[in-house]
Amino acid sequence: MSAVLRAEGLWKSFGDNAVLRGVDVALDAHEVVALIGASGSGKSTLLRCLGLLEPIDDGQIWLGDEDISDPRIDANRVRARFGAVFQSYNLFPHLSVLANVTLASRVVHKRSKQDAEARALELLDRIGLADFAKAHPDRLSGGQQQRAAIVRALATDPEVLLLDEITSALDPELVGEVLELVRQLADDGRTILMATHEMAFARDVADRVVFLDQGVIVEQGTPAEVFGAPREARTRAFLSRFTG
Ligand code: ADP
Ligand code: MG
């Protein structure tokens, strides 16, 4: 049981729409897993369920050796062990970049203002945004905002990063700088589960690719296996849309 995050038999419905239909998934330490699948296949729901941002109907989830699907668990404490970044609107618009980045470390992890700010400035400096620390998010480009959102997710040293199509709302010329930061995090040994439509990036950076179709994991393997020699007809049909 070396998995950092593991889920078995996850079921989730919205009304009579069964969105996750018995999903098993696991992430090892330092593993980067790309979650691919058509729009509506359940990628966001899976990420949200894993991060306890959405209640599940059935199944179990372990973070380390703790059963975080146990209803008696303190969900806020568990959520603080994840870092999550979504497609857009990640930063609080009324707070400075620095306040955004330090908020969780101060409120959830009870770090002092001084400690939290020192750590935040170090992280912002690493991505070239230290000069924007006092600025509000609307002064930043979309790519800078997403990089700041990633840094905010990192500020609490999360065990797992959940990234949900973090480049899909960006203008094409801004995608590269965000993917480059994710690549650095992968090189740093972070444990990452990312839903993405960036197939070239997934092929390059992911250790494993998981293909979700209609709430079921149809196929998974290394990028070479899934992109190079997909076994399932549904995977081939999905991928053919990207290769044209
Ligand atoms: P993906 O991220 O792969 O595009 P989602 O997980 O967002 O897929 O959505 C899967 C299905 O669940 C869709 O049919 C969507 O309409 C539905 N869904 C997602 N979130 C909700 C919600 N909060 N309420 C009702 N239906 C939802
Ligand atoms: Mg989604």
Does residue 244 register a pLDDT over 70?
no
Give the type of residue at 152.
Answer: R
Ligand 1: nearest atom to the Cα of 38 = 3
Tell me the pLDDT tens digit for each residue of 161-210.
999 999 999 999 999 999 999 999 999 999 999 999 999 999 999 999 99
Determine the pLDDT at residue 28. 97
In this prediction, residues 94-113 reach a mean pLDDT of: 91
Instruction: Supply φ then ψ for residue 177, to 5 degrees.
Output: -65, -30
CA angle, corner 26, sides to 64 and 158, nearest 5?
Answer: 45
Percent of the chain with pLDDT over 90: 91
In this prediction, residues 45-52 reach a mean pLDDT of: 98
Contacts 24+ apart (CB under 8 A), 11-19: 11/56, 11/57, 11/58, 11/59, 12/42, 12/45, 12/49, 12/54, 12/56, 12/57, 12/215, 13/57, 18/215, 19/45, 19/215
Of 11, 12, 14, 16, which is best to mutate to test ligand 1, by the most ligand atoms within 8 angstroms of its C-beta? 14
Find, among 89, 31, 37, the residue nearest to 210 by Cα. Answer: 37
| pLDDT band per the 50, 70, 90 thresholds, residue 101 | very high
Find, among 40, 54, 56, the residue nearest to 7 by Cα. Answer: 56
Does residue 18 register a pLDDT over 70?
yes
Distance 113 CA to ligand 2 centre (A): 34
Percent of the chain with pLDDT over 70: 99
Find, among 197, 193, 204, the residue nearest to 172 by Cα. Answer: 197
In this prediction, residues 24-38 reach a mean pLDDT of: 97
| pLDDT band per the 50, 70, 90 thresholds, residue 158 | very high
Mean pLDDT, all residues of the chain: 95
Distance 48 CA to ligand 2 centre (A): 10
Segment among 6-20, 33-47, 48-62, 103-117 with least mean pLDDT: 103-117
Q: How far is CA 79 from the centre of its chain?
A: 13
Gap between the Cα atoms of 64 and 67, Å rounded? 8
Nearest CA to ligand 1 atom 26: 14
Residues having CB within 6 Å of any atom of ligand 1 = 14, 17, 19, 37, 39-45
Does residue 37 register a pLDDT over 90?
yes
Does residue 83 register a pLDDT over 60?
yes
What one-character DSSP code corresponds to residue 91?
A: S
Residue with tokens 């991060």: 51
In this prediction, residues 44-63 reach a mean pLDDT of: 98
Q: Is 3-81+160-243 in CATH node 3.40.50.300? A: yes
Tell me the pLDDT tens digit for each residue of 196-233.
999 999 999 999 999 999 999 999 999 999 999 999 99
Determine the pLDDT at residue 108. 81
Residue with tokens 């196929």: 219
Gap between the Cα atoms of 70 and 72, Å rounded? 5
Ligand 1: nearest atom to the Cα of 45 = 6
What ranges do the domains of the chain cover? 3-81+160-243, 91-158
pTM, whole model, 2 decimals?
Answer: 0.95
As residues whose CB is below 5 A from the ion ligand 2, the structure lists: 43-44
Residue with tokens 């009324």: 94
Determine the pLDDT at residue 89. 80
